[in-house]
Amino acid sequence: MKLGMLTACLPQQSLAEIAAWASAAGYEALEVAAWPRTGGRDFEASHLPVTGFGIREADETRALMKRHGLGISALAYYENNLHPDPGRRAEIHTHLKKVIDAAAALDVPYVGTFVGRDWTRPVAPNLDEAEKIFPRLVEYAGERGVRIIIENCVMEGWHPDGYPGNLAYSPELWEWMFGLDLYLNWDPSHLTWIGIDPVTTIAPYADRIVHAQAKDLQIQPGAVDRYGVFGKAVQREDPWDTGWWRYRVPGRGDVDWNAVVDALYENGFTGTLSVEHEDPLWSGTEAKVKTGLEIAHRTLRPLIVA
């Protein structure tokens, strides 16, 4: 198992700057953000120019990683592959294929994305639509030696009422998507707030957990008794603010990282545990974000065999 980090938390820095810092901080791998240069969400980051990515760019990227003793665990493009607008959906699929091409050029085995959801339709029609869309994407990736991994994020902010916007949030849905030959970028934080014990989900799906993200979550005592599990309904100016929990860096929330890492080892996980930093307490400036990443490293490094 290697300890890595997702680069998306440092959108203003270049990949070269992040690689130098991450190596000095003791990280072993990068999960590289590969959104387009422009996008709709404020946390989108573009650390790899996948449009027009060729032999020269691949060689330069490999040399950069080698210089800092780092690997690339996956490329990250977490978008809504079932977007209700046909034009936007086509744009997403086009860019996803470019990310897959870049991964193939770099011999990176995984590209991370979301299943997503058409939030104007019920779950069943969405699953039917996904069963038409994803086999083509999986085939495109497979022909290039790449696997598509899906993060189990709920993406409640994508739904107008705060309901799941990414149909990959539970083991029930994992079993469905595994039938499409998709793999899992397993993240315990999302399981925690929807009432699923993360540790219990590792053993049954160990053969499909090929990459994992390390993000913590802190439940604010008593707040759920006011809002319920779906979060704020009347005054929800920020679609991502449920009002009763918040993301934290590992070691500052409710996830039992000793149990998580132990279960990953017990079930043969040999991939990368990649820190995904979305902690609001350690955000706002580059210095605070890096401090958050240092906290995560201090928490997880002692648990992972060198």
pLDDT bucket at 39, cuts 50 / 70 / 90 = low
Q: What is the pLDDT of residues 271-291, one digit of tens each?
A: 999 999 999 999 999 999 999
pLDDT reported for residue 165:
97
pLDDT reported for residue 150:
98
Q: What is the pLDDT of residues 146-192, one digit of tens each?
A: 999 999 999 999 999 999 999 999 999 999 999 999 999 999 999 99
Token pair 């330069």: residue: 60
- Integer Cα distance of 284 and 229 in angstroms: 27
3-state helix vs strand vs coil in the chain, percent to 5: 40, 20, 40
Q: What is the pLDDT of residues 54-72, one digit of tens each?
A: 999 999 999 999 999 999 9
Let me know: does 31 contact 272? Beta carbons within 8 Å.
yes
- Label residue 243 left, alpha or beta by phi (over 0 means left) and psi (-120 to 50 means alpha): left
Structural domains of the chain in order of their starting residue, each with its CATH number: 2-303 (3.20.20.150)
pLDDT bucket at 239, cuts 50 / 70 / 90 = very high
- Integer Cα distance of 206 and 281 in angstroms: 32
Supply 122's token pair: 């019920």
Closest CA to 116 of 87, 146, 147, 89: 89
Q: What is the pLDDT of residues 40-58, one digit of tens each?
A: 554 478 999 999 999 999 9
pLDDT reported for residue 42:
46
Supply 62's token pair: 């490999």
For 262, list phi and psi in degrees, rounded to 5.
Answer: -60, -45
Residue percentage of the chain with pLDDT more than 70: 98
